[in-house]
Structure 1
Amino acid sequence: MDLRGRAFSSVYRLRVLLMLFHTTAGIMAEQEVENLSGLSTNPEKDIFVVRENGTTCLMAEFAAKFIVPYDVWASNYVDLITEQADISLTRGAEVKGRCGHNESELQVFWVDRAYALKMLFVKESHNTSKGPEATWRLSKVQFVYDSLEKTHFKDAVSAGKHTANSHHLSALVTPAGKSYQCQAQQTISLASSDPQKTVTMILSAVHIQPFDIISDFVFSEEHKCPVDEREQLEETLPLILGLILGLVIVVTLAIYHIHHKMTANQVQIPRDQSQYKHMG
Structure 2
Amino acid sequence: MRVALFATCLVDGLFPDVARATVRVLRRLGHEVVFPQDQSCCGQMHLNTGYPAEALPLIRRHVRVFAGFDAIVAPSGSCAGSIRHQHADTARRFGDERLAAAAEGVAARTYELSEFLVDVTGVIDVGAYFPHRVTYHPTCHSLRLLRVGGKPMALLRAVDGIELAELSAAESCCGFGGTFALKNSAVSSAMLADKVAAIRDTGAAVCAAGDSSCLMHIGGGLSRLHVGARTLHLAQILASTRSEPALA
Tell me the TM-score range normalised by the shorter chain. Answer: under 0.3
Structure number with bigger Rg:
1
Q: Which structure carries more relative contact order (alpha carbon 8 Å, separation 6+)?
A: 2
Bigger share in helix: 2
Bigger share in strand: 1
